[in-house]
Amino acid sequence: MKNRHQGATGVILANGPSALNYKCNNQRLIHIGVNASPLLEEKCNVVLDYYVLSDRRFLQNPEKRKIALSMLDRKTTCVLREELSYDLETFEDNVYFVKAIGRDGFSKNLAKGFYFGCTTTMLALQLAYYLGLRKIYLVGVDLLYRPEQPRFYHETNVEPHDPFTSVQIWNFSNAYLTLKELGVELYLCSYESLVRPYIPYKEISQIQ
């Protein structure tokens, strides 16, 4: 998959409540979803090109497991953390596994592994670079985890967020600085996000 979309523009659909504000008006964009992002496809007028998953707890939750295993378009390419292969009975030809090589950092070569950064969105970012994207928009990266609505979708049993927000912020900031040096533009499209001081902000309507 290296440089498969050289020079293209992409959108990473994370799971914060602000993701509900996204509406795709450009079908040439590359869309990468994480965790429950398949639930956004109809509302946001998008079919995910790629789907990534790194948190084992997502597959261990029966309600969420259905999202990952039965709601994706068969053409969507899946990139999963290597350990998740033990939680799957079968997998298709378009499912790839990548090993975690550490918590903090940014991998420029996904074939050698990725840094998980305590958020699945970090795998999506490293995939975006590996695919050759040169402009990346982060949608739904809020990091607020409000009790009344921690994520954009309803959870019967709310998954508690890990107490690693500072780790997530560091990794997003480091990803921005790394990508900037590599000539890749990274923008944040969540006005209230805790990572906004570290990544340039763009309104969702400015995605192009």
Q: What is the pLDDT of residues 155-202, one digit of tens each?
A: 776 666 667 999 999 999 999 999 999 999 999 999 999 999 999 999
33 touches 62 (CB < 8 A): no
Residue type, 70: S
Report residue 89's pLDDT band, with 50, 70 and 90 as the boundaries. Answer: low
CA distance 187 to 21: 16
Report residue 139's pLDDT band, with 50, 70 and 90 as the boundaries. Answer: very high
Q: What is the pLDDT of residues 72-84, one digit of tens each?
A: 877 899 999 999 9
- Burial degree of 130 (CB within 10 A; 0-12, 13-18, 19+): buried
CA distance 67 to 59: 9
Q: Please compute, for residue 76, the number of CA atoms within 13 A of its CA located in the half-sphere on the CB side.
A: 24
Report the range of poorest mean pLDDT among 63-67, 133-137, 182-186: 63-67
Extents of the domains making up the chain: 9-206
Superfamily of domain 9-206: Alpha-2,3-sialyltransferase (3.90.1480.10)
pTM for the predicted model, two decimal places: 0.93
CA distance 138 to 119: 13
Residue type, 159: E
pLDDT of residue 132: 98
